[in-house]
A and B are shown apart, each in its own frame.
Chain A
Amino acid sequence: MASYEIRTRRFSRAEYDRLIELGVFQPGEPIELIGGELMVAEPQGAPHYTAIMKTAKALEAAFGPGWEVRPQGPIGLDDDSEPEPDVAVVPGGPDDYATAHPARPVLTVEVSESSLAVDRKHKGSLYARAGLADYWVLNLVDRVLEVYREPVRDAAAPFGWRYARAEVLDASARVAPLAAPGASIPVSRLLP
């Protein structure tokens, strides 16, 4: 018997933006376009949201003026992806993104509880493919910060890329974003 895999219809980012314009999705509906697939994001518990706000505040202080820290904002990543990472840091201010979403955050953070596997493997591969230099997974399960850097090709990864370097920092450690090397943020200031 010949094998046959079910393939769902994939969407481009232009189609996704059109769906939003048409009002097909409810306002605030937690969806993201990931490699052409419309994925439902994980429901937010109190620790998850607290971690996002703490991380956003810590990054605002670390980066200072000239940088925009965006909690759960859309990123125009590529032709078939528009993820909404939990926190993204982009250059400039809000007015710079009045007509188009930012495409290349200098730092991207996902806060993970139930979505740990997806954030590490799928999103990690997607962000590596887009060349995002600094990707952090704030792992609430083990209360550590996972820092991923140096995107490299890997045919076995979901989107053909992965991060070559992974560093796991516990709550007592400090971290410096690649784009703000002078900063030193205690990991404990990010955790809920």
Chain B
Amino acid sequence: MAVEVAATRRRFTRAEYYRMAEAGILGEDDRVELIRGEIVEMSPIGRRHRAFVGNLNQLLVVRLAGRAIVWVQNPVALTDDTEPQPDLAVLRRRPVPYKEREAWAEDVLLLIEVADSSLAYDRSTKLRLYAEAGIPEYWVVDCVAETVEVHRDPGPEGYRDVSRVAGTATLALQAFPDVELTTAEIFA
């Protein structure tokens, strides 16, 4: 009997991915992230996406000053074959500086993806990856609907605590309950 399989793409490890970068095969112009061994091109960033990333960055940097580190569109290592580049990452301060060792899942307090065309991907593939890696809190910011989906309590099946924030509302960070952001500020 014929077993007709689809041809499979070669998958890469993080180590191979970095060798490609060192050799100049993946360059500064490549907007890519490593997702389960596949080098995935990231969706183009539109005007609203840029603006909301900027707003979130400014709000978080100011309100978390001295308490946590805020990264914008930097890679976070999750496993040997997965290294996404979320729009924003709130990282814990740690004894080993980030210049000495990359940010791993255990350093992450909150990840945020700002989504326009990539909404379905951010809600499915990315969400499962983040939950599996034990990222404690994940926000999906919908540029079009101007809503925020807050995912907490990760497990192998996804996040068990999901809420959707729409309209005029206030969000607090799980890691810092006293740090609040309003939807009006995020979507200004």
Contact = CB atoms under 8 A, between A and B. Distances in A.
B188 interface: no
Interface string A1-30: 111101111010001001100101000000
Contact of A1 (B3, B40, B41, B120): B120
A183 interface: no
Nearest to A118: B7
Interface residues of B, number: 31
Nearest to A23: B19
A141 interface: yes
A34 B9 CA distance: 10
Interface stretch (A36-44, A73-81, A84-92): A36-44
B25 A37 contact: no
A122 interface: yes
A6 B117 CA distance: 11
B121 A6 contact: yes
A167 to B, nearest CB: 20
A171 interface: no
Interface string A107-141: 00000011111100010000000000000000001
B2 interface: yes
A41 to B, nearest CB: 8
A106 interface: no
Contacts of A115: 5, 7
A31 B10 contact: yes
Contacts of B40: 6-9
Contacts of B6: 117-118
A6 B19 CA distance: 23
Contact of A38 (B10, B30, B121): B10
Interface residues of A, number: 29
B38 interface: yes
Nearest to B119: A1
Contact of B5 (A8, A11, A15, A114): A114
A39 B38 CA distance: 12
A89 B46 CA distance: 50
A38 B41 contact: no
Given A2-B144, A19-B23, A38-B10, 8 more contacts: A1-B120, A8-B40, A18-B23, A24-B19, A34-B7, A39-B8, A39-B9, A42-B7
28 contacts: A1-B119, A1-B120, A2-B117, A2-B119, A2-B144, A3-B117, A3-B120, A4-B120, A6-B121, A7-B40, A8-B39, A9-B32, A9-B41, A11-B25, A19-B20, A19-B23, A24-B16, A31-B10, A39-B9, A40-B7, A40-B9, A42-B7, A114-B2, A114-B4, A115-B5, A115-B7, A116-B2, A141-B1
Interface of A: 1-4, 6-9, 11, 15, 18-19, 22, 24, 31, 34, 37-40, 42, 113-118, 122, 141
Interface of B: 1-10, 16, 19-20, 23, 25-26, 30, 32, 38-41, 43, 116-121, 125, 144
